[in-house]
Amino acid sequence: MGRSQGGSTTKTHAVVDALGNPLKFELTLRQAYDSIQGYDMLSQFDPSNCKVLADRAYDTDAIRALLREQNAIAVIPSKKNRGVQHAYDRTVYKERHWVECFFNKMKNYRRLATRYDNTALFSFNFDSDLA
């Protein structure tokens, strides 16, 4: 999809539930900003009265405002260069490992892990493939 010195590259963005089951994932070009894709994906869900865990790349005022509008609690550590560091629940943030577990499961599928496909056109059945 994207071109770099090492060849074609992509980024995979995912939204998973509390048990690490995928709700949505999308492929983008490697140079695409995480926060823009994260905003688009979060705006498609209604996480009201829930905690949304994300890594530092998703620490933007727009995402935090979106979560406030949706009555969700943002558990996102602040970027190092942010002027005002936001507090977050470190104990709850440890549960973000479920996202990493999902990506680890995806690596069992060679065409996703090695990114042989240069397009986002592939079939992937979450229900049967990841069970």
Residue 69, pLDDT score: 94
Which neighbouring-strand residues pair with 25?
Answer: 14
Residue 25, pLDDT score: 80
Joined together, the tokens standing for residue 40 give: 């688009």
- H or E element that contains 41: helix 34-43
pLDDT in tens, the chain (131 residues): 334 455 556 778 888 888 888 888 887 777 777 888 889 888 998 888 899 999 888 899 999 999 999 999 999 999 999 888 999 999 999 998 888 888 888 877 766 656 555 555 554 555 544 44
For 6, which DSSP code? T
Residue 52, pLDDT score: 92
**What is the model's pTM?**
0.73
Q: How many CA atoms lie within 13 A of 91 on its CB side?
A: 0
The sheet carrying 7-16 orders its strands as 2-4, 7-16, 22-29
